[in-house]
Chains A and B, each alone.
Chain A
Amino acid sequence: ETGVTQTPRHLVMGMTNKKSLKCEQHLGHNAMYWYKQSAKKPLELMFVYNFKEQTENNSVPSRFSPECPNSSHLFLHLHTLQPEDSALYLCASSQAFPGQGNSPLHFGNGTRLTVT
């Protein structure tokens, strides 16, 4: 149990589908993140939320739409994805931005997404 729960663990979707990934953290943190991990590539930061406000969008295509209704929940809405979007999508949280204190990231175990 990492304190960060992601659902579903696995998702297969067609290119015309609309789906959502969910992340919930039980750690009382105020910053949440979406990362993408493609095969044989380093983790790529996608979005950052701090106190429910988006503070970073790392040039992510608009077919990925994040939502952060409160500091404990984070969603990633997916629509008209491409096969190259298949990857492990990881959610993380922290008490404050890492490096500005001693607040490491806590990750969930990810959603393995396959786009067919």
Chain B
Amino acid sequence: DAKTTQPPSMDCAEGRAANLPCNHSTISGNEYVYWYRQIHSQGPQYIIHGLKNNETNEMASLIITEDRKSSTLILPHATLRDTAVYYCIVRVAGSQGNLIFGKGTKLSVKP
């Protein structure tokens, strides 16, 4: 299984960009990188995913390195409501594609 490594916690000032790193050095060529977040007392929320190219949607941008061994989730203008645990996940081979969540990064956005 491709495993991911994320810092356990990060702080970000409100209004600034939050850059959340993820290492996935054993990722296979056909595995996607997914990002989810979980705000306290809620279920995880899908943010974005990608395979090779950088991706952007209304919530965030995903930058994947050329060798695909790491990626960065960018929240361009973090707000207090972005305080959450952010999970970087890659597809688990041999389990019919089910996602396995690690411990994630606890992002604290501060005024």
The reply to whether B95 and A42 form a contact with Cβ atoms under 8 Å apart is no
Q: Confirm or deny: A66 has a beta carbon within 8 angstroms of a beta carbon on chain B.
A: no
Contact B43 A48 (CB under 8 A): no
- Provide the residues of chain A in CB contact with B102, threshold 8 Å: 42
- Residue on A with the closest CB to B31? A99
Interface size on B, residues (CB 8 A): 24
Known: A55-B96, A99-B97. A104 touches B34 (CB 8 A): yes
Instruction: Classify chain A's interface size.
Output: 20 to 34
Residues of chain A contacted by B92 (CB below 8 angstroms) = 99
Q: Name which of B16-24, B44-52, B65-73 contacts chain A.
A: B44-52
Minimal beta-carbon separation of A38 from chain B (angstroms)? 12
How many Å from the CB of A46 to the closest CB on chain B? 11
Stretch at the interface among A11-19, A67-75, A77-85, A90-98: A90-98
Q: Which residues of B contact A104 (CB under 8 A)?
A: 34, 36, 46, 49
Q: Which B residues between 79 and 111 are near A, CB-CB below 8 angstroms?
A: 90-92, 95-104
Spell out B's residues near A (CB within 8 Å). Answer: 31-32, 34, 36, 41-46, 49, 90-92, 95-104
Give 7 A-B pairs besides A98-B99, A99-B90 with Cβ atoms closer than 8 angstroms. A35-B101, A43-B101, A56-B96, A98-B34, A98-B97, A105-B46, A107-B44
